[in-house]
Structure 1
Amino acid sequence: MTKAEAAKALKRFTDGFNEANRELDPARNQSFESGALLALDAAVVKASRG
C-alpha cells in the first residue's frame, strides 16, 4: 500500500466513523468498531435514545 492509498483509507475510515457516531447509528458503528469500544458506544447510543 502506498502512502497515498493509506491516506485515502484512513480518511474513509475516519469520515465513516465520525458520521456513525454523529448519527448514533448502532448498525453503522459495527462497521467501524468492535469489542469494548463497540460495547461502550452501544451503551451511549442506548442512553441517548432514552
Structure 2
Amino acid sequence: MEIGAHAGMVGIRDTKQRELPDAARPLLVVPDASFTALLQKLGRQG
C-alpha cells in the first residue's frame, strides 16, 4: 500500500498493481481527518 498526503487529503493505492501505468491505477482519496479516524479505529481493534 502506498500512502501520500497533500493539502488536507490522503491518497491511498495498492502497490500490487505496480505493473499498471500510474494513470490506470485506482487511487482512493479521503480527507486527512477521515484517514486519522480510520487509523484510530484500527488501532483499537485487537
Pick the TM interval, shorter chain: 0.3 to 0.5
- Larger helix proportion, structure 1 or 2? 1
- Larger strand proportion, structure 1 or 2? 2
